[in-house]
Each structure stands twice: as structure tokens, then as C-alpha cells.
Amino acid sequence: MGYLKKLNSTSMVQQVIDCLTQAMLNKELRPGDKIPTELELAESLGIGRSTVREAIKILVYIGVLEIRRAEGTFVCEGFSESMIDPMIYGIILCKDDDYSSLLELRQTTEVGILHLAIQKRDMEGLKIIKEKLALFKEECMRENYDVEKAFEADNDFHDAVMAMGHNELMEKINAIVRMLTYAMRKATVARMIESGRGKELYDAHERICQIIEDEDESDIHNIIKETYFLE
């Protein structure tokens, strides 16, 4: 347990969290490993057990550690949805409310997702993307349109593209970006359909499908940007 060194008095709970996190980053603690007991951690770090207990409680809450009754506390294996919450709140509470920064984050993420989808293209995934695109077209062209259904179909299409990339970490990051841009994306769908430009909206998505099928990354940034309809 070389990662356990006595701590000073400043923000003790945070320091315990940092100590365990650094051990995970350094691979001294790996997914599935059992961490030392509260008593062992307290003695090694030179702090009280209540401080250790509070730090562990926080790491359990955010999905980094898990407590198994009668066995001990272990480093989690895989992702937990609860890990996303602190990241979302961290971005929401950021003082800089910059629309362009959020738009750049969205574009960077979606370009990366499309790149993965092209690189890992398979016929079954492409079939699903085309099915979702057809449903999106139906909602975009409907005379008695329903914005909620069109937006849902839009999300389903992008989820299918995301799934083609087969990257769990990117999927989690994308979930955060999609949540942060929810209002922005829904407003675009509503504006396009309500103004009679549903076909334009569909055509932009069809181009995404086409470049995946053609495995053509030559204009990937512009094609993603076209789906935003900023003007």
C-alpha cells in the first residue's frame, strides 16, 4: 500500500478521495480490487476513521467504489450511471455560460462519434441506422407533425450512429453532451419542422447515413455542422 501516506489537516476527506483516486490512476488499485479496511486506511494515513468513512461514502455514491456485505469495499468494475451526475453539475455550475463553447463541444463529440461509426461500420449496424433514418423522415414529412415524436426519432437516429462506434467511454461522454444540449437540439428540430423545412432537416441526416455507408470522412466536419441549422 505504497500509495498511503500520512495526510496534513487541510480538507482531509478530499485528500482521502484524491489518495484513492491517484492509486487507481497509477494502477495500484484496479477494477475489482478490495481496498484496505477503514481502520487500515485511518492508521496508514494518520487520520480518524470517520474521515475515511465519509470519503468512502462519497466514492460509493458516485459509483467508484462498492460495498459488499461481509466482504469489504471494492473498486467498481465498469461504468455506473451515477458517475455522470457530478460531471454534469460541474459543467452546469461553471461561471462561463458560453453558447459557442457548448456548440464546439457538441461538434467535436459528434465528429468523433461519426469517425468511429465509419471506422467500425458493419452491415447490421448500418441497417439499424437506415431504419431509424426512415422513421425520422416519416416524422419530418408528416403533415400533422408532432415535434416531440420528431425529436425522439432524431435522438434514436443519433443513438444508432453512436452504437455503431462500439465505444462505451465515448457513449458516456456523449450522454453528458446530449443532456447539456437537450434544449438546443430540440429547439432546432422544432424550428425546422414548424417552418416547413422538415425535408432539409431530414436531408442533413441522410448525408450522415450516406458517408457512413460510403466510408467517406472527407467532409465530416461540415456534414455534422449542417445538421445544426444555425441560420
Span 9-50, pLDDT tens digits: 457 888 888 889 889 888 899 999 999 999 999 988 888 888
Question: Which has the closest alpha carbon to 36: 6, 73, 77?
Answer: 73
Q: Are residues 100 and 207 in the same domain?
A: yes
- Residue 41, H or E segment: helix 38-45
Give the integer Cα–Cα distance in Å for 63 and 79.
Answer: 8
Of 46, 61, 78, the last residue of a domain is 78
- Total number of domains constituting the chain: 2
Q: Are residues 48 and 125 in the same domain?
A: no
Bridge partners (DSSP) of residue 73 are 67
Give the integer Cα–Cα distance in Å for 213 and 129.
Answer: 10
Q: Are residues 136 and 33 in the same domain?
A: no
pTM of the predicted protein model:
0.68
> CATH number for the domain including 109?
1.20.120.530
Q: Are residues 98 and 164 in the same domain?
A: yes
Q: Are residues 102 and 174 in the same domain?
A: yes
**Cβ 52 vs Cβ 38: under 8 Å:** yes
Give the integer Cα–Cα distance in Å for 35 and 1.
Answer: 10
Q: Are residues 130 and 208 in the same domain?
A: yes
Give the integer Cα–Cα distance in Å for 5 and 43.
Answer: 10
Q: Are residues 153 and 89 in the same domain?
A: yes
Tell me if 231 is assigned to some domain: no
Of 63, 78, 93, the last residue of a domain is 78
Q: State which residues form the domain around 29.
A: 12-78
Tell me if 221 is assigned to some domain: yes
Q: Are residues 98 and 184 in the same domain?
A: yes
Q: Are residues 91 and 156 in the same domain?
A: yes
Q: Are residues 109 and 183 in the same domain?
A: yes
* φ, ψ (nearest 5 deg) of residue 92: -60, -40
Of 22, 56, 78, the last residue of a domain is 78
Bridge partners (DSSP) of residue 66 are 74
Cell of 3: 500509495
Q: Are residues 88 and 73 in the same domain?
A: no
Stretches where the chain sits below pLDDT 50 are 9
**Cβ 162 vs Cβ 77: under 8 Å:** no
Q: Are residues 157 and 97 in the same domain?
A: yes
CB-count exposure of residue 45 (10 Å: 0-12, 13-18, 19+): buried
Give the number of other Cβ atoms within 10 Å of residue 27's Cβ: 8
